């Protein structure tokens, strides 16, 4: 069985400091950390001004940084072979390609947001699986932002955190070319230990929802089916949602009722909008059911959410449907696919004593059906980004 341990932050930082010294010939000044996330409910609702309920993972990306006097920038990753070198001014749109766009792009967007950054060397490492729907991209952006701001002597207060969220969204959208809605960066910067984060994208307000989860585990299964948000699927969904809001003459689907949505003429656009409206309506009830430990209600709402993503939004796949079905058959309270879709991960709420059995049952089913072996992790609600050590 493949089980992904988050790793201890101090251990990661120590290992990263020595890898940094090996690569760049000097010690880093700081190590920043930012978590991946799993979304419990509210998928593709962020860019529709809706609600989401993500949890920050104990799995995180770590970024070590040291300033340079010559204004140049180097970014490397222990997960990638290629390094990027340039300046902050050349790290904007059309500059760094591939993974480096997420890292160097943040230096550019922070500078655009008014932060005065020096040149620097950066090296990242981490335990968030890449492209698994657990937001390794925002973890990368936010870990780099935290390290870069520390190098520049900027204190990470609430106002700075909010500006970092916006700068990271901008880097991912304009430099990496992935038009994400903002949930990932918000939870990476704003989550509190032991809580999920309920975010309202209409008011841009968020609040922690404490999740003691007595006797329950949030089990995440990475199907290993790769998605690429810079591909067309995500953008097409956004375009359909915009078309739906335009037809209803509303600023966004947040303002739409189910009744209005059912009158949309095009079948596909109507189903996309129906997902968004019903999904946002499920977010607060799922938060309430988690806090109350109401297993029946959780089961019902998570099942409705999964069906909505599979049938109306059409972002699931065979492997995700299998992981969800087997989790429930083998003892999970409820389960759904999570993240942007087209592969990625599922999340299941599982009684502690059933976790091993659920993981094994999913592995067995995947082997029987000839799917790539999945990886599992426990999503213990963790804290947002900060410095390590």
The residues carrying an active-site annotation are: 184
CB 192 within 8 A of CB 208: yes
Query: Taking CB within 5 to 8 Å according to partner kind, which of Mg ion, ligand ADP, none is near residue 209?
Result: none
How many Cα atoms within 13 Å fall on the side-chain side of residue 14? 5
Angle between helices 99-112 and 136-151 (to 10 degrees): 50
Smallest separation (angstroms) from ligand ADP to the CB of 309: 15
Smallest separation (angstroms) from ligand ADP to the CB of 132: 6
CB 347 within 8 A of CB 338: yes
Closer to Mg ion by CB, 79 or 260: give it: 79
Q: Which of 42, 126, 343, 384 binds ligand ADP (CB under 6 A)?
A: 126
Q: Which two tokens stand for residue 92?
A: 């904007």
Query: Taking CB within 5 to 8 Å according to partner kind, which of ligand ADP, Mg ion, none is near residue 143?
Result: none
Using CB under 5 A, list all residues that contact Mg ion.
135, 137
Closer to Mg ion by CB, 39 or 217: give it: 39
Q: Which helix (H) or strand (E) holds 371?
A: none
Q: How far apart are CA 322 and CA 307, in angstroms?
A: 13
Count of beta carbons in the 10 Å neighbourhood of residue 243? 16
Q: Where are the alpha helices (DSSP H) in the chain?
A: 9-24, 99-112, 136-151, 158-170, 183-190, 232-247, 258-261, 267-292, 295-307, 318-329, 355-368
Q: Which of 60, 132, 289, 301 binds ligand ADP (CB under 6 A)?
A: 132
Smallest separation (angstroms) from Mg ion to the CB of 138: 6
Does position 79 interact with ligand ADP (CB under 6 A)? The reply is yes
Per the listing, tokens 């937001």 go with 135
Smallest separation (angstroms) from Mg ion to the CB of 146: 17
Site track 219-238 with ligand ADP (rule: CB under 6 A), x = hit: ---------xx---------
Q: Which two tokens stand for residue 236?
A: 């097409």
Site track 318-357 with ligand ADP (rule: CB under 6 A), x = hit: ---------------------x------------------
Q: Which of 31, 91, 124, 145 binds ligand ADP (CB under 6 A)?
A: 124
What are the backbone dihedrals phi and psi of residue 313, each rounded to the nearest 5 degrees, phi first?
A: -90, -20
Does position 280 interact with ligand ADP (CB under 6 A)? The reply is no
Q: How far apart are CA 205 and CA 48, in angstroms?
A: 15
Q: How far apart are CA 180 and CA 66, in angstroms?
A: 29
Does position 260 interact with ligand ADP (CB under 6 A)? The reply is no
Does position 62 interact with ligand ADP (CB under 6 A)? The reply is no
Mind giving me the DSSP string for 60-98? EEEEEEEEETT-EEEEEETT-S--EEEEGGGSSTTSS-T
Smallest separation (angstroms) from Mg ion to the CB of 210: 26
Does position 61 interact with ligand ADP (CB under 6 A)? The reply is yes
Helix (H, G, I), strand (E, B) or coil at 348: strand
Does position 77 interact with ligand ADP (CB under 6 A)? The reply is yes
Site for ligand ADP in 89-108 (CB under 6 A): 98-99, 102
The residue number whose beta carbon is nearest to Mg ion equals: 137
Q: How far apart are CA 35 and CA 52, in angstroms?
A: 17
Site for ligand ADP in 140-169 (CB under 6 A): 140
Does position 136 interact with ligand ADP (CB under 6 A)? The reply is yes
Smallest separation (angstroms) from ligand ADP to the CB of 180: 7
Per the listing, tokens 């946002």 go with 280
Q: Which residues contribute to the site for ligand ADP (CB under 6 A)?
A: 61, 77, 79-80, 98-99, 102, 124, 126, 130-137, 140, 178, 228-229, 339
């Amino acid at each position: 069985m493949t089980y992904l341990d988050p790793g201890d932050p101090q251990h990661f930082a120590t290992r990263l400091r020595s890898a940094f010294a090996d690569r760049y010939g000097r010690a880093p000044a700081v190590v920043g950390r930012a978590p991946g996330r799993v979304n419990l409910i509210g998928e593709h609702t962020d860019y529709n001004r809706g609600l989401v309920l993500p949890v920050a993972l104990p799995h995180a990306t770590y970024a070590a940084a040291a300033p340079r006097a010559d204004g140049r920038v180097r970014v490397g990753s222990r997960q990638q072979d290629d390094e990027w070198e340039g300046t902050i001014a050349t790290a904007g749109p059309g500059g760094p390609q591939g993974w480096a766009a997420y890292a160097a792009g943040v230096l550019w967007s922070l500078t655009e947001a008014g932060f005065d950054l020096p040149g620097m060397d950066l090296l990242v490492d981490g335990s968030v699986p890449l492209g698994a729907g657990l937001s390794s991209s925002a973890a990368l952006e936010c870990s780099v932002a935290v390290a870069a701001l520390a190098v520049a002597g900027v204190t990470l207060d609430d106002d700075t955190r909010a500006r970092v969220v916006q700068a990271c969204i901008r880097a991912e959208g304009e430099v990496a070319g992935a038009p994400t809605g903002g949930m990932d960066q918000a939870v990476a910067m704003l989550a509190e230990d032991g809580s999920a984060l309920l975010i309202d994208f209409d008011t841009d307000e968020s609040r922690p929802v404490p999740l003691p989860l007595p006797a329950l585990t949030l089990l995440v299964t990475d199907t290993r089916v790769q998605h690429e948000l810079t591909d067309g699927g995500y953008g097409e969904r956004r375009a359909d949602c915009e078309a739906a809001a335009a037809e209803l003459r509303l600023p966004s689907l947040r303002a739409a009722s189910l009744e209005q949505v059912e009158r949309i003429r095009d079948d596909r656009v109507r189903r996309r909008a129906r997902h968004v409206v019903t999904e946002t309506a499920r977010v607060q009830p799922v938060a309430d059911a988690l806090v109350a430990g109401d297993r029946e209600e959780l089961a019902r709402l998570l099942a409705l959410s999964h069906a909505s993503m599979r049938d109306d939004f059409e972002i699931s796949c065979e492997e995700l449907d299998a992981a969800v079905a087997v989790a429930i058959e083998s003892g999970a309270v409820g389960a759904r696919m999570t993240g942007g879709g087209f592969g990625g991960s599922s999340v299941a709420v599982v009684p502690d004593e059933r976790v091993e059995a659920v993981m094994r049952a999913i592995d067995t089913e995947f082997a029987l059906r000839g799917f790539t072996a999945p990886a599992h992790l426990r999503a213990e609600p963790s804290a947002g980004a900060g410095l390590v050590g």
